[in-house]
Amino acid sequence: MTAPERLPVADGRRTAAVLWAELRGRRGLLAVSAVLAAAGAALDLVTPWILGRVVDDVARASDGGSGGGATHTPAWIYGLAVVAASVGAAVLSVLGVLVASRLMERLLASLREKLVDSALRMPQEQVERSGTGDLISRASDDVAQVSEALSQVVPQLTRTFFTIILTLAGMAVLDPRLALVILVALPLYWWTLRWYLRTAPAMYAAERAAFGDRAHNLLSSLRGLPTVLAFRLSRRHSARIAESSWQVNRWALRARTVQTMFMWRVDMAFLLMLTAVLFIGYVLVGDGPDGSGSLAVGAVTTAVLFFLRIEGPLGQVMREIDVLQSATASLARIVGVTDSRPPGSTGGAEGADRAGDTGCDGDARVLMEHVSFSYTPDGPDADDVLHDLSLTVAPGEHLALVGTSGAGKSTVAALLAGVHPVTRGVLSAPRDTVLVSQDSHVFSWTLRDNLTVGAPDLTAVTDTALLDAIGRTGAGHILADLPDGLDTPLGPGGYPLTAAQAQHLALTRVLVADPSLVILDEATAEAGSANARELDLASDAATEGRTAVVIAHRLSQAAACDRIAVMEQGRIVEIGSHRELVDAGGRYAQLWDAWSVSR
């Protein structure tokens, strides 16, 4: 099985640039969050400092006897200060997390919207080559991973950064030699982090890609379930899903192994630092001739408590970096999609162009000049499914495309609708083009929302206009069956529509959208004989007064059009009116005779 061509992934510099650009207008909130984190970290150090003072007070009281005459602060003041500092640190911490979460969720919402927008604009063949699972994985798993990191890790990183800086300053005030221990030991953490950053990014990128492969295999099997069961391919598809799932597990196990090695190094660095602080404190307290050192016991106690205070945040931040690496890989995959541009959007290869992408000044004319198309644009010309095709459709003209299956009719429709870019040649079509295929999708919305999905201005669409469109396409019987009229929910979980009703709904959407060009790609093929007549009338209403390209599955539809183009193997072999082609006795005449006999 050929591996899917994955969607692009942004590099680190581009990912950072996008993240910084997304913070534009929100950097004030980021600064507020940092200030709150710094204040909370400062209050966190009050308790260790007070405990050190208590130790000194107890030592002085012991030296002076029971009365001693020594002055020391009452215990209730210390207790009140500890409570106040703890409550203040907690409040500031909560406020900092809330501000950061609000900021990051807004940022994530913006990224998610851009991801969906880029995905909807992405050429269909690019999605097909990469596999829909890759795109869905980025829109779900990767977004969730980034959401967790932005809302939890970033506030924790900010708080830990200020905790370390303030602790270092506090220990320097107590004794510069104690602060020197941290400065000397920090390279151990840096060495551990460097090792991790060399190992983790590629591993997490591979893990996220494995998620995409698994989603692709699972979705392709589920979507083609009837075919899988009909051809007894369950074992083969199960094996593919199992293999891709094992790849996910393999990368996950490797990630857990690296995490374990990483945390072992972190714990060893902390153990060495704690041992050094205790040893230096012991020496400094007892370095005098009478055993009274240059540093008080309370100061050493404060230093040790300071150090123990940063152990939790420091270990936590090193663990959060692991989450951050996974999130960075996910963010790079998201930015890779948002940065994607459809091939040919800046001119394309070999002069390929689509004037409809740059505007046609309201002209409803369709023009194709020497257009060729291949689903593998980088392949040889032999891979083309359309060959040097030229075609003109005048404004208001109805053109039918007929031919055997695989002749290229639906490909022409997809090019005109902008679903695919042309490989070579020039194509010009109105920007406001609507394609109606035989697979009419019903959204899980109300009937009103389903009808207005293609409207250029939702505020201008009134219920009166919707009812008029329903009446013109003869869909009034559908509305009459709905319990809540235009407000009836449709789709999964709502009111079920038959295939014919769904096609009728799609044709009614055309009137609401009011496009210049309508493309009907066998839009009534699934109707069945009982509904054929009413859907033909609906398609007539949808194309009336507009330029139309009709891919007909019944030749009676083609005969009603102004001109007919007969396609074979990606080329137009005949073109003309119904009467002209019948009189010519060519390929269309043969199709017409065969169809007339079969009726």
Which of 278-282, 365-369, 490-494 has maximum average pLDDT?
365-369
Query: Is pLDDT at 348 greater than 90 in this prediction?
Result: no
- Secondary structure of residue 402 in the 3-state scheme: strand
Beta bridge partners of 520: 436, 550
Q: What is the mean pLDDT of the chain?
A: 79
Query: Is pLDDT at 393 greater than 90 in this prediction?
Result: yes
Q: What is the pLDDT of residue 400?
A: 94
Structure tokens at 319: 């663990």
Q: What is the pLDDT of residue 518?
A: 94
Q: What is the pLDDT of residue 571?
A: 93
Q: What is the pLDDT of residue 467?
A: 93
Burial class (CB in 10 A: 0-12, 13-18, 19+), 599: exposed
Query: Is pLDDT at 349 greater than 50 in this prediction?
Result: no
**What average pLDDT does this structure show over 175-192?**
74
Query: Per-domain residue ranges for the chain?
Result: 12-65+72-338, 354-598
Q: Nearest Cα to 213, choosing from 238, 185, 234, 244? A: 244
Measure the CA–CA gap between 299 and 59, rounded to whole angstroms.
12
Q: What is the pLDDT of residue 37?
A: 77
Q: What is the pLDDT of residue 365?
A: 87
User: φ, ψ for residue 452 (rounded to 5)?
Assistant: -95, 10
Query: Is pLDDT at 344 greater than 60 in this prediction?
Result: no
333-347, 393-407, 478-492: the lowest-pLDDT one? 333-347
Distances (CA, A) of 315 to 172, 323, 476: 22, 13, 67
208-217, 310-319, 345-354, 454-463: the lowest-pLDDT one? 345-354
Query: Is pLDDT at 86 greater than 90 in this prediction?
Result: no
Q: Do 153 and 97 form a contact (C-beta atoms < 8 A)?
A: no
10-24, 32-46, 178-192, 436-450: the lowest-pLDDT one? 178-192
User: φ, ψ for residue 445 (rounded to 5)?
Assistant: -125, 180
- 11-58 pLDDT, tens digit per residue, is 888 888 888 888 887 778 878 877 887 788 778 778 777 777 777 677
E strand or H helix that includes residue 391: strand 386-393
Between 286 and 49, where is the model more confident?
49
**What average pLDDT does this structure show over 436-445?**
85
Q: What is the pLDDT of residue 380?
A: 66
Chain centre to alpha carbon of residue 439 = 26
Measure the CA–CA gap between 452 and 430, rounded to whole angstroms.
20
- Write out the CATH class of domain 354-598: alpha beta
Give the type of residue at 229.
L
2 band by pLDDT with thresholds 50, 70 and 90: low
68 band by pLDDT with thresholds 50, 70 and 90: very low
Structure tokens at 35: 């200030």
Beta bridge partners of 433: 517
E strand or H helix that includes residue 328: helix 297-338
Beta bridge partners of 551: 401, 521
Measure the CA–CA gap between 380 and 349, rounded to whole angstroms.
14
Q: What is the pLDDT of residue 322?
A: 66
Q: What is the pLDDT of residue 390?
A: 93
**Which of these CATH numbers, 3.40.1710.10, 3.40.50.1370, 1.20.1560.10, 3.30.9.10, describes 12-65+72-338?**
1.20.1560.10
Q: What is the dihedral of CA 65, 70, 71, 74, to 10 degrees?
A: -10
Task: List all residues 6 or more positions away from 293 whose beta carbon is below 8 Å from its beta carbon.
Answer: 283, 284, 285, 286, 287
Structure tokens at 150: 């932005």
Q: What is the pLDDT of residue 148?
A: 72
Chain centre to alpha carbon of residue 382 = 36
Q: What is the pLDDT of residue 346?
A: 36
Q: What is the pLDDT of residue 11?
A: 84
**What average pLDDT does this structure show over 212-229?**
79
Task: Supply the DSSP symbol for 8.
Answer: P
For strand 547-551 and strand 571-576, is the pairing parallel, antiparallel, or unpaired? unpaired
Q: Nearest Cα to 524, choosing from 569, 556, 495, 570? A: 556
Measure the CA–CA gap between 329 and 465, rounded to whole angstroms.
48
**What average pLDDT does this structure show over 505-510?**
92
Q: Do 504 and 440 form a contact (C-beta atoms < 8 A)?
A: no
Residue in this structure with the two tokens 């083969």, named with its chain if needed = 236
79 band by pLDDT with thresholds 50, 70 and 90: confident
Structure tokens at 389: 């095709």
Given its phi and psi angles, is residue 585 left (phi above 0), alpha (psi -120 to 50 degrees) or beta? Answer: left
Between 336 and 318, where is the model more confident?
336
Between 159 and 447, where is the model more confident?
447
**What average pLDDT does this structure show over 317-328?**
72
Q: What is the pLDDT of residue 526?
A: 57
Terminus-to-terminus CA distance in the chain, angstroms?
43
Q: What is the pLDDT of residue 391?
A: 92
62-71, 103-112, 216-225, 370-379: the lowest-pLDDT one? 62-71
